[in-house]
């Protein structure tokens, strides 16, 4: 097997060692094999959701956003030749996944929204961690946290993610 190396402009030939590294990566990161392929079920859910999204997506876009030949994403591994022990970098190809096109559309729509400066919104988990370390907390202070699951549940989107 020929595998593309990570951050290097050449490929390397691997067989048993490559497969062993991939299996170890999957085991160490708690990946579990599903009993059946849920891609079709997910595609039907997305199609049904698109049918009720007239305010966000027009009819032409709905046809484009519905993937024709959906497949579960492929996992490929690139060997990190520049690192000791040569670990792998997992690369996932999502282009044929059911939500690929609609995800791109939603990202573009969200990026085009006006940038409101709100100090209650967090950019990412690293920014949150940095902000939390700067807080000066007294013994009687409380820090309210809301998970994304609770937020979706509050918005009535729980069915979409179940």
Which pLDDT value is given to residue 146?
59
Domain boundaries, the chain: 2-161
Which pLDDT value is given to residue 162?
41
Which pLDDT value is given to residue 3?
56
Which pLDDT value is given to residue 67?
81
Long-range Cβ contacts of 84-90 (<8 Å, 24+ apart): 86/21, 87/21, 87/25, 88/6, 88/21, 88/22, 88/25, 89/6, 90/25
If the chain, 162 residues long, is cut into consecutive pieces of 10 residues, what is the mean pLDDT of each piece?
55 71 86 86 88 82 84 82 80 84 84 69 79 82 62 47 42
Region label for 132, one of left (φ > 0), alpha (ψ between -120 and 50) or beta (otherwise): alpha
Which pLDDT value is given to residue 118?
66
The answer to whether 8 and 25 are in contact (CB under 8 A) is no
Which pLDDT value is given to residue 158?
42
User: From CA 91, how far away is CA 143, in angstroms rounded?
Assistant: 37
The answer to whether 72 and 5 are in contact (CB under 8 A) is no
User: From CA 104, how far away is CA 97, in angstroms rounded?
Assistant: 12
Rounded to 5 degrees, what are φ and ψ at 23? -60, -45
């Amino acid at each position: 097997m020929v595998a593309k190396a990570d951050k290097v402009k050449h490929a390397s030939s691997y067989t048993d060692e490559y497969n062993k590294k991939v299996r170890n990566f999957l085991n160490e990161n708690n990946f579990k094999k599903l009993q059946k392929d849920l891609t079709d079920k997910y595609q039907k859910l997305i199609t049904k959701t698109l049918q009720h999204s007239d305010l966000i997506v027009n009819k032409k876009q709905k046809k484009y956003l519905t993937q024709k030949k959906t497949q579960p994403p492929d996992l490929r591994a690139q060997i990190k030749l520049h690192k000791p022990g040569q670990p792998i970098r997992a690369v996932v190809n999502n282009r044929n996944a059911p939500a690929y096109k609609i995800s791109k559309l939603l990202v573009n729509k969200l990026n085009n929204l006006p940038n409101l400066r709100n100090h209650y919104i967090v950019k990412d988990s690293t920014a949150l961690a940095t902000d939390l370390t700067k807080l000066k907390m007294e013994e009687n202070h409380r820090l309210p946290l809301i998970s994304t699951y609770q937020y979706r549940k509050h918005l009535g989107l729980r069915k979409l993610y179940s």
